[in-house]
Amino acid sequence: MTNVNIDVHHVTRVEGHGNIVVDVENGELKKCEWQIVEAPRFFEAMLRGRPYYEASHITSRICGICSVGHATASLRATENALDVEVSEQTQLLRKLLFHGEMIDSHVLHVYMLVAPDFFGAGSVLPLAASHPDVVLRALRIKKLSGDLCAMIAGRHTHPVAMRVGGFTHLPGEKELLAMRERLVAARDDMDETISLLATLPWPQFERETEYVSLQQEDEYAFIDGRIATTDGFVYNLADYRQVTNEFMVPFSTAKHTRHNRQSYMVGALARFNNNYGQLHPRAKAAAEALGMKPLVTNPFLNSGAQAVEMVHCIEDSIRLVDELLDRGLKEEEPYRFEGKGGEGVGSCDVPRGILFHNYVIDDEGLIQGANCIIPTNQNHGNIQADMEALVPQIVDRPQDDIRLTLEMLVRAYDPCISCSTHLLNVEFV
């Protein structure tokens, strides 16, 4: 009978520290754990007593990859707590900035963290010599998305110009026009990306789960909306705890969540499954080229959904730039605190999935309580459940093959462990 001992200590090409531990004795699965070993950072506790306007700057530091997403969710929580209305101009700029981060994060994940597995490489570095066109394309897309964020907020990692109620800086018309040209030119790179992904041999593994994301009436939702699940549930943002139901497990410094089943999935694939109808036609064509149509239940195809979203975000960015150019940008009066606090929830569907920030602010403008629920935390339970289902299907393969497949599974979720504390390591003990 088969014995398998896998112990991947600190899984690589993911953000943060996690381990995979698998122990199969005589063909029987004894242990299969997705362990999070990242040092906890306690952001929620640190926010207490700080002025409300610092929250988005402090919480963007939860994550270097999705700092715009954290800042946006944080601002929406504060704005909901303080009854701040934001202008249409601010909403358009935030959406455009958000698309920049979405593309930046997805290109990093698809090209630099996932693709090396399909080229038999340990990282993207050897591909620079063997497949220079692929690497240069990835760097080109990444530079475009980084520059898009910088145009609006000064930089992508830890954006500067975002504040409660609006922006401290506006892009100029010339910058917007130049960016529009680059976005249009990026269509070729998107086509190449989809063609490349269509050739990759994605591992075959199906396990249906509950898919959870934001949803809106009239657009593919990234900022605000309601919480929707493929099991048919819909919630207002204020009721987010009814979805997340956080709990702790002893082998992980990250909290887990569950809703209608033992676990649920968030991220690009969840958004794709919930909101496919609102994708741009070019993005739908990309999905077709990848053979994807809801309901997609192979978690490895989360990377495919990310590529589809990149196409959508390029197209929607072009539309947003046009709208901003049409309207013209004008300076707006900054928000002034009026001595009345409150409680608010803010939510965005960031690259790795739905994110919640929830603050209580007192009448002095100081934060009295905070709660942040991070996408990767919501995926930990689903990763664990996938591993438990996948290991018996592949247990007869060579151990190195099992290890690689499990690492690829974890990577497919694009876990952001420094967000969820930090996470990744495959251990076969």
Partner 1 sequence: MAQNGKPKVAFFDFASCEGCQLTVVDALQTHLELVEAVEIVQFREAMTEKGEDYQIAFVEGSCTRKQDEERLKKIRAQAAIVVALGACAHTGGVNALKNLQPSLQDVRQYVYGDKWEWYDSYPARPISEVIKVDAFIPGCPIDRFEFLDVVKQVLLGKAPSIPDYPLCVECKLKENVCLFDKGGTCLGPITRAGCGAICPTYGDGCEGCRGLIPHPNENAMKDVLEKAGLTVEQLMSKMTMFNAFEPAQAKTQADV
Name residues whose C-beta falls within 8 Å of residue 105's C-beta, 6 or more positions apart in sequence.
65, 66, 351, 352, 414
Residue 369: C-alpha distances to residues 70, 255, 335, 344 (Å): 17, 18, 22, 11
10 binds partner 1 (CB under 8 A): yes
113 binds partner 1 (CB under 8 A): yes
343 binds partner 1 (CB under 8 A): no
Among the candidate windows 105-113, 260-268, 293-301, 310-318, which touches partner 1 by CB under 8 A? 105-113
The nearer residue to partner 1, 266 or 419, going by C-beta atoms, is 419
248 binds partner 1 (CB under 8 A): yes
Which of 4, 124, 243, 355 is in the footprint of partner 1 by CB under 8 A? 124
Largest CA distance in the chain: 72
Q: How far is the CB of 297 from partner 1 (least distance, A)?
A: 28
Residues 42-61 that bind partner 1 (CB under 8 A): 42, 44-46, 48-51, 54, 57-58, 61
Site size toward partner 1, by CB under 8 A = 61
Q: Do 316 and 103 form a contact (C-beta atoms < 8 A)?
A: no
The nearer residue to partner 1, 38 or 224, going by C-beta atoms, is 38
Q: How far is the CB of 291 from partner 1 (least distance, A)?
A: 28
Residues 146-185 that bind partner 1 (CB under 8 A): 146, 153-155, 157-158, 160-161, 163, 167-169
Beta bridge partner(s), residue 51: 366
DSSP conformation class of 119:
T
368 binds partner 1 (CB under 8 A): no
Smallest CA-to-CA distance from 20 within 415, 396, 393 is with 415
Residues 283-342 that bind partner 1 (CB under 8 A): none
Q: How far is the CB of 257 from partner 1 (least distance, A)?
A: 15
> 150 by DSSP, 3-state: which?
helix
Q: How far is the CB of 247 from partner 1 (least distance, A)?
A: 9
Which of 6, 14, 402, 423 is in the footprint of partner 1 by CB under 8 A? 14
Report d(CA 361, CA 152) in Å as an integer: 28
Residue type, 264: Y
> 159 by DSSP, 3-state: which?
coil
CB count, 10 Å around CB of 136?
A: 12
Among the candidate windows 141-149, 268-276, 279-287, 314-322, which touches partner 1 by CB under 8 A? 141-149
Report d(CA 59, CA 74) in Å as an integer: 7
Report d(CA 183, CA 408) in Å as an integer: 31
Among the candidate windows 35-43, 92-100, 184-192, 200-208, which touches partner 1 by CB under 8 A? 35-43
Report d(CA 360, CA 147) in Å as an integer: 34
DSSP 28-72: EEEEEEEEE-PPP--HHHHHTTSBGGGHHHHHGGG-SSSHHHHHH
Q: How far is the CB of 337 from partner 1 (least distance, A)?
A: 11
> CA 7: distance to chain centroid?
27
The nearer residue to partner 1, 39 or 295, going by C-beta atoms, is 39
The nearer residue to partner 1, 16 or 344, going by C-beta atoms, is 16
Residue type, 5: N
123 binds partner 1 (CB under 8 A): yes
Name residues whose C-beta falls within 8 Å of residue 277's C-beta, 6 or more positions apart in sequence.
none
CB count, 10 Å around CB of 272?
A: 28
Q: How far is the CB of 283 from partner 1 (least distance, A)?
A: 25
Which of 6, 13, 237, 387 is in the footprint of partner 1 by CB under 8 A? 13
Q: β-strand 210-215 against 264-265: which pairing, if any?
A: parallel
Q: How far is the CB of 136 from partner 1 (least distance, A)?
A: 8
The nearer residue to partner 1, 292 or 370, going by C-beta atoms, is 370
Residues 408-427 that bind partner 1 (CB under 8 A): 418-419, 422
Q: Which residues bind partner 1 (CB under 8 A)?
A: 10, 12-17, 38-42, 44-46, 48-51, 54, 57-58, 61-65, 67, 108, 112-113, 116, 122-125, 128, 139, 142-143, 146, 153-155, 157-158, 160-161, 163, 167-169, 248, 250, 253, 255, 364, 366, 418-419, 422
